Amino acid sequence: MGNKRVGILTAGGDAPGLNAAIRGFGRTAIGEYGMKLIGFQNGFRGLALDKHIELNSDSLSGILTVGGTILGTSRDKVHRLNLDGRERDMTGEIAKVYDRNKLDALVTLGGGGTAKNALRLQKAGLNVVHLPKTIDNDIWGTDDSFGFATALEIATEAIDRLHSTAHSHHRIILVEIMGHKAGWLTLGSGIAGGADVILIPEIPYTIESITKTIEHRKKAGKHFSVVAVAEGAMDTEYAARLRVADQLIKDADSPETKEMARNSKMHLVDSHREHTFTLARQLEAATGLETRVTILGYVQRGGTPVAADRVLATRLGAVGAAAVADGASGVMVATRASETELAPLEDIAGKVKYVPTDHEWVKAARGVEVGLGD
């Protein structure tokens, strides 16, 4: 159990709580289990290039409340890492780095993409334990992921502030919130912030439905509306085109046709990137109300983690250290209600936790007469 050497890295987008998780894992691993810990810099790129620093009690001190990650991060994939202008499969090289540093385990902190990379390394013979991080709350197999609670607070505060200017100027204000595939962040902050319309990827919208909600408010003497829009929200027409594109990829009978189908989908997705501005113009034309757009962007990822994320990150880090000490591998530390469990990466990687359209949050939004665009 003691004297194990463990590597740790953070990958994917940064999120509040990463440093708290590094600290939670590191202090437990070092203090309780006598492990040696090295941190690889800038995600899987640093792992592939063997760029690392020694971590000890001193270097882990004072980082609990600090946003971002002291190790740096990147979105590199282990099997498609861009080096010197070309993509290379670095899985084998990473295995050599693992052996050269005499590691007994590798701990990865990240979201769904990181989980897929972790699984590839597990299949290559590395002992891997994964801790779930994402502001989107879209990691399959766990109730909670650190980063979400802080982003939820930030987005909610933004909606709170936008209410006053929307009311003062009799405007429609659209606030774009992160979430390409899953709408947890937009739905949660929309409910907490009292948004009048909430648009998420799981429920395609029509302009007519949104306009109906806003016109209903106008008749009630409320000449303003706040619309919370997920990055990945889509109207019914785009949703239908996306389904066709996905089906073409699925039905492709050769690598060439599959690549063509994927490129076609990529162009479709690119054409959708400005959809919030398009929606603003459509709503202004339909309602006659001046319409403005606010994009929260990366502000949702930054800053000091809230207490809930600090507790969750520390908790998952400590459980992760115990898992490594026990020899666990190929698992993610997941939460279930108030408990934790080790979930196989095989069951996690490649899946997305979408918002069920009959989820209690959705029902609550409908119950307080929030328009969902459908």
Contact 258, 249 (CB under 8 A): yes
Residue 68 CB partners (closer than 8 Å, separation 6+): 14, 18, 19, 302
Torsions phi, psi for 301 (to 5 deg): -90, -15
Closest CA to 63 of 107, 99, 10: 10
**Residue 40: enclosing H or E segment and its boundaries?**
strand 36-40
End-to-end CA distance of the chain: 55
Among the listed residues 76, 136, 144, 235, the single catalytic one is 136
- The structure tokens listed for 73 are 């991060």
Contact 107, 331 (CB under 8 A): no
Q: Is 86 helix (H, G, I), strand (E, B) or coil?
A: strand
DSSP-derived letter for residue 299 is: G
Distance, C-alpha 195 to centroid of its chain: 22
- The structure tokens listed for 123 are 């299949």
Which residue is listed with tokens 């084998």?
A: 92
Q: Is 374 a catalytic residue?
A: no
Side-chain-facing half-sphere of 334: CA atoms under 13 Å = 22
- The structure tokens listed for 354 are 């979408």
Catalytic residues: 136
